[in-house]
Amino acid sequence: MADAGTDTAAGTAGDEAADAPEVDEARQGVLATLADALGDALLDSHIAPGHALWVRVDRDAWVATAEAAKFRLGCTFFDYLSAIDWMPSPWGRYEDAEVGVGPTPFDHDAAFETGVAGGDTRFQIMCRLANVRRHTEPHLNVVVKADLPDDDLRVASLVPLYAGANWHERECWEMFGITFDGHPGLRHLYLPGAFEGHPLRKDFPLLARLVKPWPGIVDVEPMPGEPESGDGAGAGDDATAGEEAPE
């Protein structure tokens, strides 16, 4: 029979095991493969056990990372490409803002959060590459991120490696103003050719929210048979009232 000291030691060991961080050995192996291929160009990484792997790489290694994923990991499927502007919106939350109030100046020297795998710049480019042939090994996918300097928003195109990147890069160029060197034809997908600005940047104003309080939509007249707004009685209320009214 175990004594009290043994029970205490066993309990402590069990608590430590429960508190130990979960280890995703499969994704650790994927990360090791990319680290071997990229060396110092792999700046940071993050693993969500059982879910996903993110790596942040030097901008100059953007294509090399995609090559390593494609040829070393078999990630021949191009899932998506996009960007993110980490700058806090100078307009604040539109649902909380007052109509007619201008933007708050942004302190470019202030630190701001940039999500998993870190970041040092306002803009980041990202893409997800996956091996869908070995669907029994879902760990064979990676989200790749790279910082882009504010004064040089450009990165090499992935179209020579992944033809599916074509429209994604065009959309990113249009919405964020990021240039993809080597792209076969950056041109608008959604906006008129003479449109000025990049709508997915945080400092691009949503005019509908600046001239009308949230939700910034036009007033809608009720459909025939519906009560006027503010009457306080719905169709069900009318029906109930009719049933209860004396003959």
CB 106 within 8 A of CB 134: no
Residue 226 domain-assigned (yes or no): no
Domain of 133? 23-93+111-215
Sign of the alpha-carbon dihedral angle for 206, 207, 212, 216: negative
- Bridge partners of 130? 77, 141
Domain CATH code at residue 124: 3.30.460.80
Residue 2 domain-assigned (yes or no): no
CB 32 within 8 A of CB 24: no
Binned at pLDDT 50, 70 and 90, residue 21 comes out as confident
Residue 93, burial from CB neighbour count under 10 angstroms (0-12, 13-18, 19+): exposed
Residue 151 domain-assigned (yes or no): yes
Residue 10 domain-assigned (yes or no): no
Q: What are the distances in angstroms from CA 164 to CA 59, 74, 77, 78, 134?
A: 20, 16, 9, 6, 20
In sequence order, which residues have a C-beta less than 8 Å from that of residue 19 and are 6 or more positions away?
none
Question: Which H helix or E strand runs over 34?
Answer: helix 25-38
Closest of 167, 170, 171, 177 to residue 201, by C-alpha: 177
Q: What are the distances in angstroms from CA 120 to CA 45, 115, 123?
A: 14, 11, 9
Residue 245 domain-assigned (yes or no): no
Whole-number average pLDDT of the chain = 81
Residue 222 domain-assigned (yes or no): no
pTM over 0.75: no
101-121 residue pLDDT tens: 556 665 656 667 889 999 999
59-100 residue pLDDT tens: 999 999 999 999 999 999 999 999 999 988 777 665 565 555
Euclidean distance between CA atoms 54 and 70, whole angstroms? 16
User: What is the reported pLDDT for 14?
Assistant: 53
Count structural domains, the chain: 1
Residue 141 domain-assigned (yes or no): yes
